[in-house]
Amino acid sequence: MPPPPAIRLGPPHPYLKTHGSKVARLHLLDWVVLALLFAIDVGLNLIEPFHRFVGADMMADLRYPLKSNTVPVWAVPIYAIIGPIIIIVGIYMKRRNVYDMHHAILGLLFSVLITGVLTDAIKDGVGRPRPNFFWRCFPDGVPKFNNITTQVMCHGDPAVIKEGHKSFPSGHSSWSFAGLGFLSWYLAGKMKAFDRRGHVAKLCIVLLPLLLAAMVAVSRVSDYWHH
């Protein structure tokens, strides 16, 4: 006796086999908003942050060594954006779901750009001096203060001093958790790590991006770029 004919519950998902450009066009407004967020973040990095009052008696907590970054600035978009995108594309190569790939990349970019705008806006508004502010302000080690207010009178590189007023919050840390945190939850969904079947190995994989983000955050304190 032949098997009964298959029952179609509905039309196949319209985006599973379609070209990626069609999906992108349907979400054109989202990409426009992303471009706007990127422009805003660039502008926030160009403007001068608030220069909070720094007096002579405050310098004891701001004389930590001016070290180089353990995690360079150029490396942040590589591991927080490009790395997750490579993994997302790799999953697409196996499953061939354009809809999933597009939305994963879109969500990742929204995660890091919204975080970037919020982080840099707070940085500019708060203007908290970094732990190594003394050496940014006085690279020759000779301090100079206003005789009346005791306000610092910096004579260092203006660009270095500008960065010295951006201690809170940490951009490395926020971008790391925005990008790698998104990747962590994405992997958890793809591997079904929370289906209550006790996948310890899968949970370890899911936690790896978060561990990397945490180590980046720790490096920002050990490098004396953040309190």
Catalytic residue among 51, 103, 155, 226: 226
Q: Is 172 a catalytic residue?
A: yes
Q: Is 103 a catalytic residue?
A: no
Identity at 41, one-letter amino acid code: D
pLDDT number for residue 54 = 92
**H-type helices in 127-170, by residue range?**
133-137, 158-163
pLDDT number for residue 100 = 87
Identity at 39, one-letter amino acid code: A
Catalytic residue among 13, 172, 199, 227: 172
- Which residues lie across from 152 on neighbouring strands? 145
pLDDT number for residue 10 = 47
pLDDT number for residue 43 = 96
Q: Determine if the pTM surpasses 0.85.
A: no
The residue ranges of every structural domain in the chain are 20-222
- Which residues lie across from 151 on neighbouring strands? 55
**H-type helices in the chain, by residue range?**
20-26, 28-46, 76-77, 83-95, 98-126, 133-137, 158-163, 171-191, 200-222
Cβ-contact 98, 23 below 8 angstroms: yes
CA distances from 15 to 50, 103, 138, 173 (A): 47, 11, 59, 35
